[in-house]
Amino acid sequence: MAVTIYDIARLSGVSIATISRVVNGNPNVSDKTRERVLSIMKEYDYTPNPFARSLQFNSMKMVGISCSDISDDYMANMVSIIEKRLHEYGYDYMLFCSGYDLNSREHAVNLLLKKKMDALILIGSQFLGNGQEEEVSYLHKVAKNVPIFIINGALEDPNIYSVIADDYKSMYDAAKKLIESGRRKILFLYDSDSVSSMQKMGGYEKALKEAGIPIDGNLKIKITCKVHEERDLLLLRKDLEFDAVLTTTDKLAIGVIKYAKAKKLDIPKDISVVGYNNSYLSEYIEPELTSVDPSAKKMAKTVVDNIMKLLKGDEIEHRITVEGNLIKRCTTDF
Amino acid sequence: MAVTIYDIARLSGVSIATISRVVNGNPNVSDKTRERVLSIMKEYDYTPNPFARSLQFNSMKMVGISCSDISDDYMANMVSIIEKRLHEYGYDYMLFCSGYDLNSREHAVNLLLKKKMDALILIGSQFLGNGQEEEVSYLHKVAKNVPIFIINGALEDPNIYSVIADDYKSMYDAAKKLIESGRRKILFLYDSDSVSSMQKMGGYEKALKEAGIPIDGNLKIKITCKVHEERDLLLLRKDLEFDAVLTTTDKLAIGVIKYAKAKKLDIPKDISVVGYNNSYLSEYIEPELTSVDPSAKKMAKTVVDNIMKLLKGDEIEHRITVEGNLIKRCTTDF
DNA sequence: CTGAAAGCGCTTACAG
DNA sequence: CTGAAAGCGCTTACAG
């Protein structure tokens, strides 16, 4: 139905080899022939069949991207930047949102593998599960067939590459700031046991230790529910005393803001709050949220640039760390 | 390098035709043969080459999706739902974010066409430009080769299908509520001249007329900037008097909330605010935002279901309208 | 500079 | 139930 290379060949009075050459910019075509073919191609609105090309090249010029949920602000932003960069290289992508448990992540990655993507980008350290050998074995297996780029997670493997935010340091810096501004009872809220969450917790603890503040297990709370439930949960914990909160995501920080509002506490006076990711939310919410900017833009671009280098045959680093920085807004008084 | 159908054929001692049959579930294979082949396939981890299959079937079982920006809350949510539904049918998708001007939208749609997607989903009436013949001609052209499904925009064409939110009615309902609660000077904020924005404006005007309130051109303001600029812009317009605001997106409503805060106005007492889209934002923001829920979930599912029907060869309706409903929260007092 | 031919990995009538 | 062969629409040595 659609016009093929044979049609154009017939119409131009040359062989399909020649058509292929002009399509692919091969210089071994006379100007006269090239022009004629080009004009016929335009006239008949010819587009090479991408499936046939893929079969030849064994590539669709596509990368597979998986993240837990595209309606998450942070992921969406990341994907958005990656896409733009990919397009600059003439690449497209297939997105596969995996959901939040490890099994479905594995499922997503395996499906992407079957699609013969040129490379895989996994966004979030949760793709590593708890990081134990057993939970990451699927990645080693997949990496035998396609290079994997993990954003925010690292795994030792010849075909796995990582771009990592320095969450440990960022959280350490944030906690230190809080302490310097006089806060002593800092609540740490996290929403998963991912490697990245643990890094953040590590940074938090280090800052406390340095300041001689004992680490109180009660002040580290894992919260996986929605913002309103988080607020209510906090309201119920009347035993809890804190004058500041560090959270591993901006969303968690919003729950805290709602809690403060319900208790008529003043932010940042009674409670200081620092979120994480510096998402749009942090600017929209009132009061506007102080948040760690993990430099998503830089990470996303680095990933794509590295993929292209690798596909070109260049050597690339297996692990790149990107520093974040704290964006001060109205939920802190430093 | 990867194992092909030839390898499996050789290993199983049958022809490639038979392998193909068991892969595709063709019943014309003896149980004995099938089992042997299946076990060999598993042993060698065989996956049919998707490029070769695509070439045969002239389909990758993929739909192309374009929206202006995936980091927009509303779009991301829509894509997320569409994806889940597509996966249920065994389909994948390629996403192409177009940006906000008509030229780049046309560019995105044309690229998706070249990729030979089975169908195209365009999210947002902005793909229709101003709706004039001239601005939609590219769609008619593309629709000659691939069915197009427009979410929130309608276009008369044998191969274009629409699922539309009843924006006119939703906005009419919202305005009416505001009027019934005593508001007379209702500001209308919109961010584009899209068909959908115009529908919303129409609903707003109808409600005013019905209540005998003259339509004041000064109270209809187009705002395309960021929330903080929107706030400042509103602060500068000291001539403006209003006791309620209707906006065409939740983001615009957030600018209003920031304005109210800067002016120390009480929401909903001094100003009532109604947003549009019922995005996550509306729950996160303080005070929580009353917003129109355009039933994105229903729209997204309808689109996918209809695509599948069409691809199966069924007749489907060219235009489906989905009603929205108002979600009351804390920025209104009705 | 150009063309004939083989090949990419599959599917599917057709014949048996 | 099974296989040989043609074909899907391209690209690319190879020969001229």
DSSP string, B51-97: HHHHHHHT--SEEEEEES-TTSHHHHHHHHHHHHHHHHTT-EEEEEE
For residue B1, the model assigns a pLDDT of 59
The correct CATH number of A62-165+296-323 out of 3.40.50.2300, 3.40.50.10470, 3.20.20.60, 3.40.50.300 is: 3.40.50.2300
Q: Are B49 and A55 in contact (CB under 8 A)?
A: yes
> Which percentage of chain A shows pLDDT scores above 70?
100
For residue B70, the model assigns a pLDDT of 96
For residue B107, the model assigns a pLDDT of 96
> Which percentage of chain B shows pLDDT scores above 90?
94
Taking only the tens place, the pLDDT of each residue in A90-127 is 999 999 999 999 999 999 999 999 999 999 999 999 99
> Measured from the CB, is A77 under 7 Å from any atom of strand C?
no
CATH number for the region B5-54 comes to 1.10.260.40
Tokens of A202: 């590590």
Q: Output the CA angle A145-A100-A69, nearest 5 degrees.
A: 85
Taking only the tens place, the pLDDT of each residue in B36-93 is 999 999 999 999 999 999 999 999 999 999 999 999 889 999 999 999 999 999 999 9
Q: Are A162 and A137 in contact (CB under 8 A)?
A: no
Query: What does each C-alpha distance from B103 to A126, B44, B100, B106, B108 come to in angstroms?
Result: 39, 48, 9, 5, 9
- Whether residue B298 is predicted with pLDDT greater than 70 in this model: the reply is yes
CA end-to-end span of chain A, whole Å?
68
* Span CA (B105) to C1' (D12), Å: 36
* Cβ pair B95:A83 closer than 8 A: yes
- Each domain of chain A, given as residue ranges in start order, spans 5-54, 62-165+296-323, 167-294
Taking only the tens place, the pLDDT of each residue in B166-214 is 999 999 999 999 999 999 999 999 999 988 999 999 999 999 999 999 9
Tokens of B40: 């060999």
The correct CATH number of A167-294 out of 3.90.1280.10, 2.60.40.3620, 3.40.50.2300, 3.40.50.300 is: 3.40.50.2300
Taking only the tens place, the pLDDT of each residue in B103-151 is 999 999 999 999 999 999 999 999 999 889 999 999 999 999 999 999 9
Q: Are A271 and A242 in contact (CB under 8 A)?
A: yes
Residue B214: DSSP 8-state: P
Q: Which residue is nearest to nucleotide D5 (CA to C1')?
A: B17
- Whether residue A1 is predicted with pLDDT greater than 70 in this model: the reply is no
For residue A73, the model assigns a pLDDT of 87
For residue A2, the model assigns a pLDDT of 84
* Span CA (A165) to C1' (D13), Å: 47
- Gyration radius of chain B over CA positions: 25
For residue A225, the model assigns a pLDDT of 87
* Cβ pair A116:B257 closer than 8 A: no
Query: What does each C-alpha distance from A234 to A63, A221, A247 come to in angstroms?
Result: 42, 10, 13
Nearest-nucleotide field for B2 (CA, C1'): C9
Nearest to B80 among A69, A258, A285 (CB): A69
E strands, A239-288, are 244-247, 272-276
Taking only the tens place, the pLDDT of each residue in A215-229 is 999 999 999 989 999
Domain A5-54 shares a fold with domain A167-294: no
For residue B86, the model assigns a pLDDT of 97
* Span CA (A334) to C1' (D5), Å: 78
Q: What is the mean pLDDT of residues A171-192?
A: 97
- Whether residue B265 is predicted with pLDDT greater than 80 in this model: the reply is yes
Taking only the tens place, the pLDDT of each residue in A312-328 is 999 999 999 999 999 99
Residue B108 near chain A (CB below 8 Å): no
Q: Which of residues 43-82 of A touch B (CB under 8 A)?
A: 47, 49-52, 54-55, 58, 60, 62, 69-71, 73, 76-77, 79-80
Mean pLDDT of chain B: 95
* Span CA (A243) to C1' (C1), Å: 79
> Measured from the CB, is A50 under 7 Å from any atom of strand D?
no
In chain C, which nucleotides are within 7 Å of a protein Cβ? 1-5, 7-13
Query: What does each C-alpha distance from A256 to A84, A191, A222, B192, B256 come to in angstroms?
Result: 34, 13, 13, 35, 23
Question: Which residues of chain B are within 8 Å of residue A55 when distances are taken between CB atoms?
Answer: 49, 51-52, 54-55
Mean pLDDT of chain A: 95
Q: What is the mean pLDDT of residues A198-202?
A: 96
Tokens of A194: 């991912």
